[in-house]
Amino acid sequence: MKTTRLILVGGFLGAGKTTLLWEAARRIMENGQRVGLITNDQAPDLVDTAILLHNNIKVSEVSGSCFCCNFDGLLNAMQQVREEANADIIIAEPVGSCTDLSATIVQPLKERMDHELLISPLSVMTDPAHLNDILSGKTSGMHLSAAYIFMKQLEESDIILISKTDLLSTDELTALKEKAKAKFPEAEIMTVSAITGEGIEEWLKEVSNRTNAGQRLAEVDYDIYAEGEAVLGWLNSTIELSGEPTDWDAFAKNLMQDFSSQFDGMKAYVGHVKIMLESDENYLIGNLTGKGDTLNFRGSAGTGSKARLTLNARVEMSPEKLEQIVRDTLNTKTTDSLAARIVTLRCLSPGRPNPSFRFDHIVTN
C-alpha cells in the first residue's frame, strides 16, 4: 500500500476545526490529490460528519471514545479511508477536549506506522479570544480544569494555529502571535481564517512538507484532565420534524437563540452547540461557541413539511440538566402543525481517559 500523509488537527471545542478540515480538503482535491477525513467523538451522530459527507468527501467516524483510548479504532478508520478513498492525505480531528495527543497518538503512530504514514507536525487550533484570555492567566469562562486541558493542548503542539483571524485587526493579531510565541517559543505560530481563506495555503504547505511530528510531550495530570472533561455535559441527538410547510431557517435560528439565551442566563460555559437541519437536499448549519454573540449560521434548509435535525451540545452542566433543557426547548417548538420525534438521544459525561498507549519519550525515525 502506498504511503499516506496524516495531518492531525487538535484544539479545544469551538476552535473551528471542522470548517478548516472541509476547506483544506477542498483545496487538496483541487490540487489533484485524494483526501479522506476522520472525525472523533464520545458518541455517534456527529454534525461534523454529516457536514463533511454532504460535501462528497470520504469520512470515517470513530465514536464512543477518543482516538487515544481507542487506538485500534483510529487505525481501522485510517485503513478504511485509505482503501475506499485511495487517500493520498488523511486529515484527522480528535475530540476537542482531548490532550496528551503527542504521547498517546503521535508517538505510537511513529513507532508502528513508520513505513505506511508520513506524519505531519501536530497542529493545535485555537480560538483567538480564548487564547488571549488563557495566556493572560484567566480561564475564558471555563472550569479551571477545562482551562488546564486547553493549556496542555498548546504545550504539546508543534504548530499553534490561531483561527478566526478575520475577527482581529492587524495589530491585535500581531500582539497575540507575539504573546503566544513568548509562552511557547518552541512551537510555530500560524494563523488562518476559514471565512477569508487567509493563511490556509501557507498552513497546508507547512504540514504537507514536514514530518517532524510530536516534538514535545506535555506533563499531564490525569486527575485534572479527567475532571476537565467530566465538567461538560455531552449531548448528541437526531430529531425528525414534520407537519405543515415550515420555514426551516427561521425554525433553526429561533431554536438556537433559545438555547443561547438559556445557557447565558445560567452563566453556563458553552464549548459548542451545533445543529444541522436538512430538508430534501438543502441544509442549514448553526453554531454557538460561547455567549450569544458567537451564534452564526450558514446555508439554507428552505421551506418544507419534513426535516431532520442533528444536534450536538457540549455545555458545562450535568448531562441530566443538559438533556432536560434540550427536551423542554424542543417541546416548546412542537405545535398542532409541527411534530418533533426524537430518533436518537445520547447524553453523557466523559469517563476518565485511559489511553491504549502513552509514550514517555519522543520516537525518532
Would you list the domain boundaries of the chain?
4-228, 233-348
Q: Is the pLDDT of residue 114 over 90?
A: no
Residue 64 and residue 39 in contact, taking contact as beta carbons nearer than 8 Å: no
Do 342 and 310 form a contact (C-beta atoms < 8 A)?
no
Confirm or reject CATH 3.40.50.300 for domain 4-228, answering yes or no. yes
Residue 83 CB coordination number (10 Å):
12
Angle subtended at Cα 30 by Cα 28 and Cα 35, rounded to the nearest 5 degrees? 35
Average model confidence (pLDDT) for the chain? 95
d(CA 303, CA 305): 7
- Farthest CA pair distance, the chain: 65
Class of domain 233-348: alpha beta
Residue whose grid cell is 504539546 = 156
pLDDT band of 1, cuts 50, 70, 90: low
Give the predicted TM-score (pTM) of the model. Answer: 0.95
Q: Is the pLDDT confidence value at 45 over 90?
A: no
> pLDDT digit string (tens) for 280-293?
999 999 999 999 99
- For residue 190, pLDDT over 80 is answered with yes
> Would you state the pLDDT for residue 41?
84
Q: Average the pLDDT over each of 56-65, 101-110, 148-157, 333-342 and give the range with the smallest value.
A: 56-65
